[in-house]
Structure 1
């Protein structure tokens, strides 16, 4: 750990110097001044605009082992006009837990991704972020889980883990919960390691622990597993149980989000998925199946 920290500090110093050099006084509404040796801002100007001490910022830029708060790093990032990937890079180099803007927390799915998962029908497809928030679904997924389109009026943002831990077992769509839910919690913890201390994550863990004693118990076990393909059994009131294989696909530009596709494991499941699709087409008009644009 110490070696990693020692290697990050010089990288942090070089990164800050390079970002400072590209911001001119005119960019931040300051006069150019005389005898300016560098093309960008001076250290004291960055410190002044960020509301921090000159000595503190100098030490930060020199890569000294000092502590930085998210508020101070955000102020420096604004002064240096860092874009979101650069801001995250600054946090990583300073070894401060990174929290993306809430509006940018992997909650907006473009038309291209929605079009891909819609085209997978009759395979079931859903987009999750690292906390199992449901960001997008296709009609086949909604057939099985009896949910409205994400973004539909009154639907709100749903979370798969929260639903599975709080639904009564008799109406939960996931069979063999005693096997599957511990694995999902262990997968969640593998993502949590990148977000320890972030308010949104801590609030989520605290809230779900309060809502479900079983989740709290599983979380306390500290088990960790990465995402991976699995065979799961689901139930639907109209067709009964069906075995499905899940496979995760990454999404460019959304590093902590994934498309999860559920394929029928056998002919029985394939026939039941077809039955659910026919049931949808029979019971609901096309307008009711449209996804509200994000």
Structure 2
């Protein structure tokens, strides 16, 4: 009976010791290293966009143990008492606390679907209407532009002249091609002349802008091709979240009494 009681007592002590040991990743130089450090490191990596797979758990454990070894050595050398260390710790404390403040604000002030739709509708209104597939040739002088118009009328190819003479480095090499764009994408003088043209037409007189003299040709016209709201919803939500956060920060600055 006595042996049974002793065995039971030993088993109870062993069972009680298991959870306490399980709370530690290791014991380094007599100091326990809590297992939650592995969890914290994993969470930190996940926040940075590097989710931790089960295969990486061993690496994280090694990393946590290595940190404890290095930290103990630094403390042994008294580095945790230096002014530089204390200054860096204060900066780190501020950074973490500010990050938590902003995360808390964003959590409590999420962007709603209604806000996303309103922003998308605003975008659609500003970018709707017609799109133009235009080409242009940009030169410095009006006389040059008039001669080019005359040359095109005589049969020279607009694209060839653009490649040789256009001063616009972006479109010149592509035969003056400006790709699909709305009229609002261009300077007013350019867009006003362009929208008067129908498919295949070229300006009969040079168009002056801040960049020089343009000869414009419209190759095609279509209704603006806008992305569907669901396709751009994540980008709109992120933009609105940033705007909300910026407004929150500005409000805090305004309310603060700075002397």
- Structure showing greater radius of gyration is 2
- Structure with the larger helix share: 2
Please say whether Structure 1 and Structure 2 have the same fold, judged by a TM-score greater than 0.5. Answer: no
Q: TM-score range by the shorter chain?
A: under 0.3
Normalised TM-score (structure 2): 0.17
Normalised TM-score (structure 1): 0.15
